[in-house]
A and B are shown apart, each in its own frame.
Chain A
Amino acid sequence: MARLTINGKSYDVTVDPSTPLLWVIREQVGLTGTKYGCGVAQCGSCTVHLDGAAVRSCVVPVAAAEGKQVTTIEGLATGATLDKVQQAWVDHEVPQCGYCQAGMIMAVAALLKDTPKPSDADIDARITNICRCGTFQQVREAIHAAAKA
């Protein structure tokens, strides 16, 4: 049994404590915006915030998330108002297939929290998610746009 706080709501889940947070979010809690891409913290599709910091939830055991605030892509917007990163993603039409974009957006949202005006070098160092469609040119434009918003 684990007690989790996800997007401000409490959940009691019955799982093996070694179960990755990703799978608890997807299977027990039922929030499927967070994606499985590799399972070994390489691709970043599963990125969520743990107490505001970006983590790759496929390698975070659920036990490590107890007592912390988990934020997923579903919790980023405020009601019907998109987060500025999401809005920039819409304005710049970043997604192609979109599968990696929830993780990408969560990684960028965490970056902007501690580095509100990131340089290209900051972006290069902090955004290491894989996108096979190759949206990076639009991702970079949208990050700078979100930083100005």
Chain B
Amino acid sequence: MIVKAPKIDRRSFIVGTAAVGGGLALGLQIPFRPGVVRAQDGSPEINAWVVIRPDDTVVIRVARSEMGQGTLTGLAQMVAEELECDWSKVTTEYPTPGQSVARKRAWGDFSTGGSRGIRSSQEYVRQGGATARVMLVQAAANAWGVPATECIVSNSVITHKPSGRTTTYGKVAEAAAKLTPPATVALKDPKDWTLIGKPVKRLDTMGKVTGAQVYAVDLKLPGMLNAAIKDCPVFGGKVKSFDADKIKGRPGVRHVVQVGDSGVAVVADTWWQAKTALDALPIVWDEGPNAKVSSASIADMLKAGLDADQAFVRSQNGDVKAAVAAAPKKVEAVYAYPFQNHAPMEPMNATAKYTPDRCEVWVPTQNGEAAFAATTAAAGLPAEKCEVYKINLGGGFGRRGAFHDYVTQAVLIAKQVPGTPVKLLWTREEDMTHGRYHPVMQAKMTGAFDASGNLVGLHCRLSGQSIVASVFPQLLQDGRDNLAFQGLDPSGDFELGYNVPNLLIDHAMRNTHVPPGFWRGVNINQNAIFMECFMDELAHAAGQDALEFRRKLMSTHPKHWAVLKAVADRAGWGTPAPQGVYRGLAQMKAFGSYVAACAEISVTGGNQVKVQRIVCATDPGYVVNPAQVERQISGSFVYGLSALFMEECTVKDGRIEQTNFHEYDSMRIAQMPKVESILMPSGGFWGGVGEPTICVAAPAVLNAFFNATGKRVRTFPLKNQGVQMV
């Protein structure tokens, strides 16, 4: 590589990568550098995003992580659209975080969360493709001694129009790499796109059906040992003692080591040997100050916040307290949302190799730069002596983005076995009990009607955990966590779609010792339930149709309304449903996209719910790959409805009680509704896709459940109310 890597200050580094868009300035400029930069196989880089091999293979660099959501293919489509290359010759590779540091963040942000994979890199990756195209064409023109303006390009073939001469990208790549990149390039008008917007096949399917794809758990390195770990079951607790002698003679066991303050690991020849030895290892924990905390004590703390005087105000107009006091009719409801674990199918893991001169980590991560920061910090080595190799994830859902506890652990273990690569793999039980949980939240919703039945006041008081306060406290704004209000904001990517003359949205922050995290959808999951179920409660109280009631509040939110109207029309809202079938609606704007759903359910015995069909609409501005967007949508209902019906992590004696899928269940195919997706990109903005739809799953089904049974459930998951999904 080219330049000496700067030492990273971990704290400022994390702030930089967390701030949305904040770290992208460098990535927006395609940096000019003298000399040709070469890929490992010697092929020339045209720029940071594009490498072209002599056989015309186009290697597109992708900085974001692939965890199933299809971003790898979508980002490649965007580069290829501007590059005008032959799509059948496209392959991809991940630049490493170490390379990115060495090249002054040439690839911008690696963070793959917040449904930002496409939308927050779309501009600079398209510029990367366009810049490379201009250089390749110029190289051909130079070779022919003709003006570049006389050349056209299609499918990696450059043609000099007047003479009919042709050449290919592979032939001119070497010369193109030596050219000075143009200062500016024009991007195509979206109406001229030929690859963006097409349902081209994903680039990464084959290895997943043959077993050939190597996940990080599958990694084999020469001389590698395997580690299993237990961290203190009570968050904030520590290791008091452990008796390594008890397991030293077991087959394969090489080392028994403490990991930081709170963990103990066994390192063995095989993982199964390590895991069974660890199970036999006597460990005494110092459980610390949180050993008495329970779900009940946490719920009591949140409940007190519902009526607390002090709360952080996010959105306010009119005077809601006066409106409620004066209202001839008011409605009040309290909702509660539980802790939930991400539970990606691939448990947390990382492989580390440490020597005093170099630390390398192989890891499934949603944020290579954050994994790199964790590596340098745990290794105690400067950035230029560290490297992180990203490996495709067996699910992420937010667990593997902001948190790299498993990377820290792997490095701390490897430091005690210098020179030997060690693969650390958590058991499912460790994964379930050491998550970064969906925050707990309660809400008191209050609505006020005037004498004519118009909604004149709405107060949403949230009470519960702040992810930002726990994870990125430097991003709090005068103590307020703006992220807690996702979906309820006055404007922006999470804009509430309703106008109410007197409105107050506030949050009594009540933090717990259970660490919260960004769980696919983050705070829209509970906020959509609170707002959209309560909208139905208000409509019911006013004796009005749920769609019509909303419409009257949405006059200045035409895009919110458009998706809601679309699902209502497709589902036949207002027309009779099939016998025994009941419908429910929900809408929200989240991660920059407008989403809505209409659920159709049937209920037997008052508690056996069959979700028959869900019609869903999304307006994400632009759709890069409609086939993958549809898969994100139908998959979102699995994540969202599993959460609604089945998923809760309860706390007893300071620890999480659920240890595996028998206690923390997930939907199976028998429970899967038929999902119909309506993609309605209206252009002019870029919204996310991976998360928004999840939040309308629960309220749409809950509203249908009320319509079917007359019963309004406000505490989740539904299994606690004896309501099951069949």
Residue positions of A touching B, CB distance < 8 A:
16, 19-20, 23, 26-28, 30-40, 42-43, 45, 72-74, 76-77, 82, 86, 89-90, 93-102, 105, 123-125, 127-140
Contact status of A42 and B636, CB under 8 A, knowing A36-B347, A137-B675: no
- Cross-chain pairs A/B with CB under 8 angstroms, 24 sampled: A19-B272, A27-B272, A36-B217, A37-B347, A39-B660, A45-B345, A72-B211, A95-B68, A98-B68, A98-B209, A102-B209, A124-B668, A127-B668, A131-B345, A131-B638, A132-B395, A132-B639, A132-B666, A133-B395, A134-B634, A134-B637, A136-B672, A137-B634, A138-B631
Contact A38 B661 (CB under 8 A): yes
Contact A34 B427 (CB under 8 A): no
Question: Which 6 pairs across A and B sit closest by C-beta, in order of nearness?
Answer: A33-B211, A134-B638, A98-B208, A99-B394, A97-B68, A134-B635
Q: Binding site of B, secondary structure by majority: helix, strand, loop or mixed? A: loop
Cβ of A105: which chain B residues have Cβ within 8 Å of it? 209
Cβ of B69: which chain A residues have Cβ within 8 Å of it? 96
Contact A43 B205 (CB under 8 A): no
Cβ of A27: which chain B residues have Cβ within 8 Å of it? 226, 270-272
Contact B672 A34 (CB under 8 A): no
Contact status of A73 and B638, CB under 8 A, knowing A20-B272, A42-B660: no
Contact A38 B395 (CB under 8 A): no
Cβ of B343: which chain A residues have Cβ within 8 Å of it? 132
Contact B210 A134 (CB under 8 A): no
Contact A97 B345 (CB under 8 A): yes
Contact status of A99 and B215, CB under 8 A, knowing A40-B660, A89-B209, A137-B672: yes
The answer to whether the Cβ of B251 comes within 8 Å of any Cβ in the partner chain is: yes
Given contacts A35-B346, A39-B427, A74-B212, 7 further A-B contacts (CB under 8 A): A32-B211, A36-B347, A42-B662, A98-B208, A102-B208, A124-B669, A136-B638
Contact A32 B218 (CB under 8 A): yes
Contact status of A93 and B395, CB under 8 A, knowing A27-B272, A35-B345, A38-B428: no
Contact B631 A135 (CB under 8 A): yes
Contact A97 B272 (CB under 8 A): no
Residue-wise interface mask of B (652-667) relative to A, using a CB-CB cutoff of 8 A (1 in contact, 0 not): 0000000011100011
Contact A98 B394 (CB under 8 A): yes
Q: Which residue of A lies closest to B661 (CB)?
A: A42
Inter-chain CA distance A32–B699, complex, in Å, is: 40
Cβ of B639: which chain A residues have Cβ within 8 Å of it? 132, 134
Contact A100 B674 (CB under 8 A): no
The answer to whether the Cβ of B213 comes within 8 Å of any Cβ in the partner chain is: yes
Residue positions of B touching A, CB distance < 8 A:
67-70, 201-202, 204-215, 217-218, 220, 226, 251, 270-272, 343-347, 392-397, 425, 427-429, 627, 631, 634-639, 660-662, 666-670, 672, 674-675
Cβ of B272: which chain A residues have Cβ within 8 Å of it? 19-20, 23, 27
Inter-chain CA distance A128–B660, complex, in Å, is: 16
Contact B667 A136 (CB under 8 A): yes
Q: Which residue of B lies closest to A128 (CB)?
A: B668
Contact A133 B668 (CB under 8 A): no
Contact B669 A95 (CB under 8 A): no
Contact A34 B631 (CB under 8 A): no
Contact A23 B428 (CB under 8 A): no
Cβ of A43: which chain B residues have Cβ within 8 Å of it? 345, 661
Contact B210 A73 (CB under 8 A): yes
Cβ of B396: which chain A residues have Cβ within 8 Å of it? 97
Q: Which residue of A lies closest to B634 (CB)?
A: A137
Inter-chain CA distance A16–B280, complex, in Å, is: 16
Contact A99 B395 (CB under 8 A): yes
Cβ of B429: which chain A residues have Cβ within 8 Å of it? 39
Partner of B345, one of A16, A40, A94, A130: A130
Cβ of B662: which chain A residues have Cβ within 8 Å of it? 40, 42
Contact A37 B271 (CB under 8 A): no
Contact B217 A74 (CB under 8 A): no
Q: How far apart are A8's CB and chain B's nearest CB, in angstroms? A: 16
Contact A30 B661 (CB under 8 A): no
Q: How far apart are A54's CB and chain B's nearest CB, in angstroms? A: 14
Contact B627 A95 (CB under 8 A): no
Partner of A93, one of B201, B220, B660: B201
